[in-house]
Amino acid sequence: MTAASAKSGGRAGETRSDVPSYTKLVLFLCAVLTAGFAIGLLNPPGQWYSTLSKPPANPPNYVFAPVWSVVYVVIAIAGWRVWEHENNRTGKAIWAGQMALNFAWSPVFFTLHSTRGALVIIIAMLATILAFVARQWSRDRWSALLFAPYVVWVSFATFLNASIVLLNP
């Protein structure tokens, strides 16, 4: 343990802030869930979505909100874990990038009615999520594992988006 880490009460490379860790976790949870719910409320599926041809695997609309709620919780916990380690700038940047893409998808798909634009976004989002998992696997395996449900859900959502593009030329 270095003098700096001994002074901060943590391991080498970590710093201690005045805000308790559990408070940061609650802030991450509130911020991610609030933003996710706001994006959903501001960009509802609406009549346009109901008229689209969808693949047989498309779940009913009521499934999306609870699934995204759980996914947003694990995204927030993983983000909090990354932000607890100051020397992980790349992990922080990748986490923030996937959040930006996540929040961009609904307005492009549901509000702008751009299924193709949304497909580009969700493919980039899936790639960024996978990059986060790969980056975190050796640094913080829990953060990487927390993203497993996210990988599965966004992979499925990518399939749905691509199917909608193909079924609605």
For the segment 45-58, what is each residue's pLDDT rounded down to a tens digit? Answer: 999 999 999 999 99
Chain centre to alpha carbon of residue 80? 12
Contacting residues for 51 by C-beta, under 8 A, at least 6 apart: none
Q: What is the pLDDT of residues 97-155, one digit of tens each?
A: 999 999 999 999 999 999 999 999 999 999 999 999 999 999 999 999 999 999 999 99
Element (H, E) at 122: helix 115-137
Residue 21 pLDDT: 84
**Residues 16, 22, 27: CA angle, nearest 5 degrees:** 100
* Distance between CA atoms of residues 108 and 129, nearest Å: 19
Chain centre to alpha carbon of residue 18? 27
CB 157 within 8 A of CB 59: no
* Distance between CA atoms of residues 166 and 55, nearest Å: 10
Q: Where are the beta strands (DSSP E) in the chain?
A: none
This prediction has a pTM of 0.85
What residue ranges do the domains of the chain occupy?
20-44+60-167
Residue 123 pLDDT: 98
Residue 63 half-sphere exposure toward CB, CA atoms < 13 A: 6
